[in-house]
Amino acid sequence: MRFILITIFLIISGSATAQQGNEALRSAAFLSVRATGGDQVHTIMELYGLADFACNTAVFLKLNGIKSEHTHLTAGKTYKMPIQSMKYNGSSIRSTTGIDDWKTAVQIRDYNHALLRKGVRDDDFTESRDLWIPWHIINCDKNGKTKKSTPDTKTPEAKPGKKVTPATAYGGEPTTSDNNRVFPIFGDKYAKTPLISSKLKGKIFYLVSGHGGPDPGARGKRAGITLCEDEYAYDVTLRLLRYLLSHGATAYMIVRDPNDGIRDQNYLKCDNDEVVWGNKTVPQNQKARLGQRTDIINALTEAHNKRGEEDQTVVEIHVDSRGKSTETDVFFYYRPNDEASLNLALHMHQIFIEKYNQKRGPSRRYSGTVTSRDLYTLRETNTHKAVYVELGNIQNDWDQQRIVLKNNRQAVANWIGQALSKK
Ligand SMILES: [Zn+2]
């Protein structure tokens, strides 16, 4: 089976789709495929049922910076295909893509099923929810001419009508236009993120909020309302991202919610539309979910290492779940047998001790802990440092205040940010 990978840095969407279809289609990622020995441009076009439309080949050449369609592809190298991959909503291709035309939807369906029959893909999009949309069906006329000649670069979170700048492959969180420091992921209220200092310039951070997508994580109850771990971990992580970006860091929000920016409400609505960097669907299976995230991080880590940017850190944030009466202060896990990770976790711990002594006074000592733990993301990532933060016990009334009150969410994010700013 040919190796298919949906790579993180291919967030290029054909603005030709902007007029047709919805936001998700406009920002859908392009598929990447690893070439095998003997592959040429036209053979790979053939295999993916794209060869009949010259526009597909034109886009392939453009996406991969290749001059001629007679070029031999390099075995083992990944190439971007003029095929967008997006999350199928389980009900219809038309509502998934925002394209009303019945015939177009049938064409897309048939294309996906044809590749399945051919063995080019091994999953049925209705099950895997991974819908492939070939360029020609939406963007080319019947003579195989692209209605708009070449694709533009675009980032996933672009709001309709909001012009977005190209997300450089390793530039971290994208802005809406060059250096305007407007980050759509934070939502309108917090998008504008002024540069406060450059103390984190050259430092790379991968922020992982726990769970997400089909997995809400642990759930607690407060005043009859369900608190979902993934929503609160997401909001604290998003606030941490903003802290790091405001100090000049390069930071990646690995789990991403297309329509929840930073939220100030106490009760954050549980939903399951989170995706991961590159607009990829979050798998149901836990191992696959964790593997997907670490693969993304490791690919970026490798790229930044190649650029000599080795100061790279993973921070994963969760909310723990224990017996209702158990109060649990923020505590830390670090990558086993990794001194740099231990030192970082100890430093975070120290900051929390100081902050809580100020906030709580001697009467209520901070009791958070630092321990090594063989957790998947800590073990499987290759960054210089990796720590895992548990924000408290989602079942406990007292601890719930730490996540329900926005100022507390902000305080925790700031403290973790300050610890990460240590020289
Ligand atoms: Zn968790």
In sequence order, what are the beta bridge partners of 318? Answer: 390
Q: Which residue ranges form the domains of the chain, and what is each CATH number?
A: 2-164 (no CATH), 184-421 (3.40.630.40)
Question: Which residues crowd ion ligand 1, with CB under 5 Å?
Answer: 210, 217, 318
DSSP letter at 153 equals P
Amino acid at 55: C
CA of 94 relative to ligand 1 center, distance in Å: 35
> Can you give the pLDDT at residue 317?
98
> Can you give the pLDDT at residue 154?
44
CA of 317 relative to ligand 1 center, distance in Å: 8
CA of 287 relative to ligand 1 center, distance in Å: 14
**CA 140 to CA 138: how far, in whole Å?**
6
pLDDT over 80 (residue 20): no
Residue 410 host element (H or E): helix 406-420
Burial class of residue 141, CB neighbours in 10 A (0-12, 13-18, 19+): exposed
| Strand ranges in 92-195 using DSSP code E only, listed in sequence order | 130-134
**CA 60 to CA 83: how far, in whole Å?**
9
Residue 59 host element (H or E): helix 54-64
pLDDT over 50 (residue 158): no
CA of 409 relative to ligand 1 center, distance in Å: 16
Amino acid at 92: S
**CA 97 to CA 158: how far, in whole Å?**
16
> Can you give the pLDDT at residue 303?
87
pLDDT digits (tens, 9 = 90+) for 131-155: 999 999 888 876 776 665 444 444 4
pLDDT over 60 (residue 169): no
Sheet holding 4-5, edge to edge: 4-5, 29-34, 78-87, 130-134
**More confident call, 180 vs 284:** 284
**CA 184 to CA 198: how far, in whole Å?**
21
The whole-number average pLDDT for the span 306-319 is 92
pLDDT over 80 (residue 91): no
**More confident call, 24 vs 287:** 287
φ/ψ of residue 418, rounded to 5: -65, -40
CA of 207 relative to ligand 1 center, distance in Å: 14
Least confident stretch, 129-143, 228-242, 291-305: 129-143
> Can you give the pLDDT at residue 146?
66
Strand, coil or helix: 228: strand
Is-above-0.85 flag for pTM? no
CA of 255 relative to ligand 1 center, distance in Å: 13
| Strand ranges in 135-249 using DSSP code E only, listed in sequence order | 204-209, 219-222, 225-228
pLDDT over 50 (residue 166): no
> Can you give the pLDDT at residue 155?
40
CA of 215 relative to ligand 1 center, distance in Å: 10
CA of 320 relative to ligand 1 center, distance in Å: 6
Kindly report the number of other CB atoms within 10 A of residue 357's CB atom: 13
Q: Is the dihedral of CA 369, 371, 375, 380 positive or negative?
A: positive
